Amino acid sequence: MDYTELTTEPIDITSVARRVVPPECGATVTLDGYARRFTKDKQTGETRETEYLVYEAYEPMAIREMQKLVEQVKSEFEIANVGIVHRLGKLEIGETSVVISVAAPHRRAAFAACEWLIKELKRTVPIWKKEVFADGEVWVEGDSQAPAL
Amino acid sequence: MKVTVLFFGATADTVGSRELEIRADEAATAKSIIDQLSKDHPALAKHKLLIAINEEYADPDTLLKDGEEVALFTAVSGG
């Protein structure tokens, strides 16, 4: 089965991956996205050290947008099931912020679909990340235009 | 008419609120709501804002209806 969830609890990556597996599949590709300590600033090239992250979502719309991605990815790739779980609230460095699992009969489609899903999630799903540093904090603004108008 | 305006992340910090009920005239659009809010919160105009109406991405010129929910937020940064 497919599923999309938001949670404030730590994400169990293995269980996300296992929930998407049907008998006709031979490969599951799972992305484990987690909070990074060092981020290079795209403009200045300087490296900032992050202390922790805070994620927030427009929850009902985020679920709807994730469900749309699942529908779309299944129509465009030879895959069976998709699971997406995104963490909200405060995350320590190294904690998992997002898990995407794609089960498919063959691995190639699963890799491609997983890559497509994270790219689209970062562009369309209304979730925001705040980076907190020793000397300040910033809500990260993505570089996307308004999607799908 | 009245619309509910929701803010998240950077826009919530800028406005100092997560939800406002706003009185608007019948020809109000998402853009006119942003203009109206920017008078009290000029910093709002510094952001490139995305708009959702009733949980769907929408164009700034979309006409609003009574009771609708408008969300104003910056480009998303999940993942």
Residue A132 pLDDT > 70: yes
Output the pLDDT for position A89. 98
- Is any Cβ of chain A less than 8 angstroms from the Cβ of B31? no
Strands of B1-79 (E only): list them: 2-7, 19-23, 49-53, 56-57, 69-74
Please report the pLDDT score of residue A149 as a whole number: 55
- How far is it, in rounded angstroms, from Cα B56 to Cα B70? 9
- In tens, the pLDDT along A92-125 reads 999 999 999 999 999 999 999 999 999 999 999 9
Query: Considering the domain B2-74, what is its CATH architecture?
Result: Roll (3.10)
- The residue of chain B nearest to residue A143, with distances taken between CA atoms, is B75
Place A24 in a pLDDT band, splitting at 50, 70 and 90: confident
Per-chain mean pLDDT for chain B: 96
Residue A71's pLDDT is 98
The CA distance from A134 to the nearest CA of chain B, in Å, is 19
Dihedral, CA of residue A85, residue A90, residue A96 and residue A100, to nearest 10: 20
Q: Domains in chain A, please, with CATH?
A: 3-139 (3.90.1170.40)
Structure tokens at A76: 């465009």
Q: How confident is the model at residue A146 (pLDDT cuts 50, 70, 90)?
A: low
The per-residue pLDDT for range A44-75, each reduced to its tens digit, is 888 889 999 999 999 999 999 999 999 999 99
A127 interfaces chain B, CB cutoff of 8 Å: yes
pLDDT surpasses 60 at A43 = yes
Q: What is the pLDDT of residues B24-73, one digit of tens each?
A: 999 999 999 999 999 999 999 889 999 999 999 999 999 999 999 999 99
At A102 the pLDDT is 97
Average pLDDT, chain A: 93
For an interface test with B, the pick among A96, A140, A143, A145 (most B C-beta atoms closer than 10 Å) comes out as A140
pLDDT-derived band at A147 (thresholds 50, 70, 90) equals: low
Show residues of chain A in contact with B58, CB under 8 Å.
Answer: 149
Are B75 and A142 an interchain contact pair (Cβ–Cβ within 8 Å)?
yes
- pLDDT value at position A148? 55
Is the Cβ of B39 closer than 8 Å to some Cβ of chain A? Answer: no
Q: Where are the domains of chain B?
A: 2-74
Among partner residues B9, B51, B58, which is closest to A139 by beta-carbon distance?
A: B9
List CB contacts of B43: < 8 A, sequence separation 6 or more: B14
What is the per-residue pLDDT for A83?
97
Neighbours of A68 (CB within 10 A): 17
